[in-house]
Amino acid sequence: MKLRAEPTKNYRLLFSLYFLGFGILVALITSFINYSASVTNIEKRLQHMAVTESQSKREHITNYIDRAERLLFAITDNQLTRSYLLSPGDENRQNLIQLLYALSMSSKDIMQLRYLDASGREVVRINRDKSSASLRVAPDDELQDKGQRYYFKAASKLGFDEVWHSNIDLNIENGQIEKPYRPTLRLATPLIIDNQFQGVVIVNLLFENEINFLTNNPDFLVYLVDKDGEIIHDPDTSGSWSRYLDNKQNMQDLFPEAVEGITSQDNYKVQGLYSFSMTDLFNNDEGLRIVFVARPEVMNSMKSTNMQAALLVAFTVLLVSVPLSWFISLIPSKLQSKLSSAYNKIHKNAVIIDKYVMLSTTDTQGNIKEVSSRFAEVTGYSSEQLIGKRHNLIRHPDTPPSTYEEMWGTILGTGVWEGEMKNRNKRGESYWIHSIINPNLNSASEIEGFTAVDQDITDKKRIEALSMTDSLTGLYNRHKLNELLLCEVSRSSRYQTPTSVILVDVDYFKRINDSYGHNVGDDVLVQLAAIFRKNSRESDCLGRWGGEEFLIITSNSDARSAVDFAEKLRAAIHNELFPKVGHISVSCGVAQYVAGQDATQWISSADKALYQAKEAGRNRVVRS
């Protein structure tokens, strides 16, 4: 028996050694393969992080520039601006000053807002004090001739609704770069009325907060550079503004092997460095680029993590050759490490969400259970004052009940509701939000409460209102009417539906202004607007075309129906008693849209009909 047992014992020993050796070999091969793959995975992960971050920053800057351009259009399209240009008296100039002053209050980034006349002379300038952030209207003796400045020359060559952007540079006072440095972006647009150049509107924006947003990232060192490789922002701020300050390194000095790719390609990448062009966002030749360079500590951490993972896999494979209990003992440690990492990421994201996102949760009865710090900041209430209350604490009376009925009907049916609401904060001030409300469901698909994610869109709403509304009558302004005309031309051409316009002009309006004053004339225009609203359908679009002219777009109406409507308005106005003035009359020109016309030709037809009504004695309706 001993002779037979000995080879068996030796066989088992050799088999064990072989199996253990095979396990070690497999572990080493697996470790090498995993580590090699990890290098590629790190690069892919960094690229994905850089692309995602660049897209987020592009969207932010796009919205920022859009808001600034809307602010300029709110001036060029405003009736107060037109009134000053048609009659540049003291009263109209004061109204223009008040308009620019009010718009300057919309953002603390506005350093200066100006209107320059056709010669380049400053007419109005609003300055923001750099120490107190208060606004100041520049007195007449401080207004300067800017006709030879580059921004006036550039903006004066633009067409209607075009905007010039400056390079991102440092603010200069009295010929010297201002200290502390104030990064500045300037936007300008020409003021064109009746195809006549009337000057330039220009805004100087403090771009420091936007640079901080663009370059703030925990995983990358972020550079802003121009097309020549000059550095606008260096993570080490002492290296910023290489074009404007002496003894500063540029990208050629920092990244000589990558600078050509950075400056010549829209998207450029090498290991650990990723560049994205933002040239298309700015109407200038600066060629702005954002460059992400992976922080050394981030790359080291990734490599260390991947090395540990590779060794862990190898060790796990090795343990297959030894008792199973050794292998199982590693699982809790590995899971704990992943859980700890996941918890840290969740905690970090939760802090960011709490600070920057308006978030609130309620129970099924609508009682507030939890709010973010940002929600409390916007509403003006503390978390303690909000929890346990309902959202009607901040409800604004202007928000119609139908909005809330639609919202509750959607979320109680387990749907997601999205819409805009007007609310009121603790101080009684109005603000607008874009809200998305989700029902919270338990495992049985029953509603346990609701979560609302809100975005403060107050500034957007204010600028939208300024950009589309005539400040005197509250009707649409000419800019908005032009948009509506284009839509009607497209709709009528596509669906072959009749559409007409009515051009209304007040007869002898100049006599009213000359006899009773412009204030009485303004009262007449306001009263006319009220008559138009009272006698119009909801589908009719009413607007002030300019001066004492009004335009009415009557959808789904042929010329005959539009003439009847115009005659109704003419009679209502003729029978109306206007304070101080008495009875007045209007003349109307009607034109139905004809296939193949553009908006200008359509309005020209109505204008010719209006001229015929005037020539025929006024106080009548003429169809083209």
User: What is the end-to-end Cα distance of the chain in Å, rounded?
Assistant: 124
Are the beta carbons of 115 and 75 closer than 8 angstroms? yes
CA angle, 305 then 308 then 311, to 5°: 150
Can 548 be counted among the known catalytic residues? Answer: yes
Residue tagged 């060629």 (tokens): 287
Q: Can you read off the two tokens belonging to residue 176?
A: 């010297």
Cα separation, 471 vs 71, in Å, equals 15
Q: Can you read off the two tokens belonging to residue 554?
A: 């009557």
- Give 436's strand partners: 418, 453
Strand pairing category for 586-592 and 621-623: parallel
How many CA within 13 A on the CB side of residue 515? Answer: 8
Torsion angles phi and psi, residue 53, rounded to 5: -65, -40
Residues 6+ apart with CB under 8 A from 481: 541, 543, 545, 551, 553
User: Of the candidates 455, 416, 453, 452, which has an alpha carbon nearest to the alpha carbon of residue 432?
Assistant: 455
| 432 burial level (CB within 10 Å; 0-12, 13-18, 19+) | buried
Are the beta carbons of 391 and 411 closer than 8 angstroms? no
307 backbone φψ class: left, alpha, beta (φ>0; ψ -120 to 50): alpha
The one catalytic residue in 483, 548, 576, 615 is 548
User: Of the candidates 187, 201, 193, 204, which has an alpha carbon nearest to the alpha carbon of residue 116?
Assistant: 201
CA angle, 445 then 451 then 454, to 5°: 150
User: Of the candidates 318, 307, 351, 338, which has an alpha carbon nearest to the alpha carbon of residue 37?
Assistant: 307
Cα separation, 200 vs 188, in Å, equals 7
- The torsion defined by the Cα of 561, 564, 569 and 570, in degrees rounded to 10, comes to 140
- Catalytic positions: 548
